[in-house]
Structure 1
């Protein structure tokens, strides 16, 4: 592949695309790799479409499709894009999800909605048929932090205690990914997968905290985490029997204070648009919505 030619492809169109400079930065960090950059050509060798997949520096295979573009003059962009994705999926031996970052009111822009539409069609044709829409939140020091109220006590926990908390929090969860996974596996298996996922993230296991009521009963779990770019609200929740009392604010506050004390200038977080209680907690804590993240992925168990 002519890497320079593929990287220099114009980053235009209504759906945000990675610039050549950003792609080269990701290549230098081994988070985008030459074998994860694919493009389709016409009979004259001109680029018709480009797809870039992303992974962590130590990933064996890409984790997500980060950028998908088709030239404006292509009559059927969905068909060309679907073929490109299918070729990449066959080479990778998996179907990484596709994350599209969008403004909150993206459906009100006809040009943007149409550009998202053919991408949805292409992704579905290539096997990414499940859609989840998430709010991406961001905290900065200007928002400040709320002090602890004493309603909860936070402490480190053993792996067994953490796994038990993951199991209990998954019950009646409003998180769509959790609901989908529980259709295919039991809560104990999902807890192990969640535990391993956050253990593999750039954050440290020593950051995790169990949340207890003053009388010792488990109230919830706080997992401060990180991405390759920012500190992050990884996983948090309240056990079913303690929900509805505002304790999620205490747990989110603990995560925010932890990161802020470490000097974080930005803390990112996401929650499903349908998870109204979690979104409200982020709003109360001073987190601001910066974008919608449309996630197109392969249904679990396929």
Structure 2
């Protein structure tokens, strides 16, 4: 087998990134994503592109935040791993996005396994599988149960306290990873940092309370760099078991629709069966799936 040639692209060579087949429809998935050519790399063998990867960050970031496009030709897992290992950036996170129902299609399953093998060889371990959702106005607005009162709250300390309570008992794999590393305080702070990271207004954040005034949870209508999204839904442990997460999701959907959202993206862990059921009830179809990988040294939970 001939030697590999690794190439980091630039504005003049960016077109070379698209010289591979796209069985996982990643070009469609990332049609709203802006990639910097200089954060894209390809691996060539005999002049043929056998692996490609794109690192992503916001316009103001000086280093990429994650890898969210990885393609590897069949039998070239080692080339894909080398492409990642020799890059000048080493973000903790790698996302492998897949078409919905990929396990039921032999070709898609093989393509996914090839890319996952390359990620593992490069030192990334799977953390969690997630469902990716997309609500559109033709789905209709979910009914508001009317059980809760929603209000904004300007004090971050109030949100941080509720996040501590929410993450004290959680099914979320990312929160569990943070708890394993630094306790509930780290998980809550990381969540709050993500809320601030999003470019949507701080005034959108809302707390849900019972009509008697008891805090039930929070919902974060948001925009990420690709558009409107459900930033967070969380219910404190003492109020679980009543389906309140659906109330929060319905309110979040109504809020973003009133802001003119033409779509709303959302996600939850595949293993979070209650939340997945709420998304289905609220009219959010699964449009993609994701396997989230973390660098081996960063993975310490479920």
Q: Does 1:34 align with 2:37?
A: yes
Cα distance, 1:193 vs. partner? 1.6
2:15 paired with 1:7:
yes
Match among 273, 278, 282 for residue 279 of structure 2? 282
Does structure 1 retain, via aligned residues, the 8 Å contact 2:72–2:115?
no
2:180 to 177, 183, 191: 183
Return 54-63 or 210-219, whichever deviates more: 54-63
Find the counterpart in structure 1 of residue 27 from structure 2: 18
Task: Spell out the pairing of 1:219-238 with structure 2 (5 A cutoff).
Answer: 219-238=216-235
Residues 71-150 of structure 1 mapped to structure 2, 5 A cutoff = 71=73, 76-88=75-87, 91-92=88-89, 94-150=90-146
C-alpha distance in 2, partners of 1:182/1:131? 14
- Secondary structure of the 1:58 match is coil
Choose between structure 1 and 2: higher strand proportion.
2
Asked if 1 retains the 8 angstrom alpha-carbon contact of 2:20 and 2:49, the reply is: no
Pair 1:151 & 2:147 matched:
yes
1:147 Cα offset (Å) = 4.9
Distance 2:39 2:138 in 1: 38
Write the distance in 1 (CA, Å) between the matches of 2:298 and 2:270.
Answer: 24
SS of the equivalent of 2:86 reads: helix
2:142/2:283 contact within 8 Å kept: no
Check 1:159–1:131 CA distance in 2 against 1; reply closer, same or farther (3 A cut).
closer
SS in 2 for 1:114: helix
Q: 2:72·2:118 contact (CA, 8 Å) conserved in 1?
A: no
What is the Cα deviation at residue 12 of structure 1?
1.2
TM-score (normalised: structure 1)? 0.88
Q: Give the Å deviation of 1:131.
A: 3.4
Please tell me whether residue 205 in structure 1 is matched to residue 176 in structure 2: no
In 2, Cα distance between equivalents of 1:166 and 1:279: 20
1:117 shift after superposition: 1.1
2:3 match: none
Match of 2:160 in 1: 163
Deviation at 1:184, TM superposition (A): 1.1
Q: Is the 8 A contact 2:136 2:263 kept in 1?
A: yes
Partner of 1:55: 57
* Superposition misfits of 4+ residues, deviation over 6 angstroms: none
| TM-score (normalised: structure 2) | 0.88
**1:172-227: CA deviation from partner (whole Å, max 9, x where unpaired):** 21111111211111212221121111111122211001111111111001111112
Distance change in 2, residues 1:146/1:108 (3 Å)? closer
Query: Aligned pair in 2 of structure 1 residues 241, 300: CA closer, same or farther (>3 Å)?
Result: farther
Shift of residue 68 of structure 1? 2.3
Taking the aligned partners of 2:9 and 2:277, their CA distance within structure 1 comes to 47
Please provide the CA RMSD for this pair: 2.2
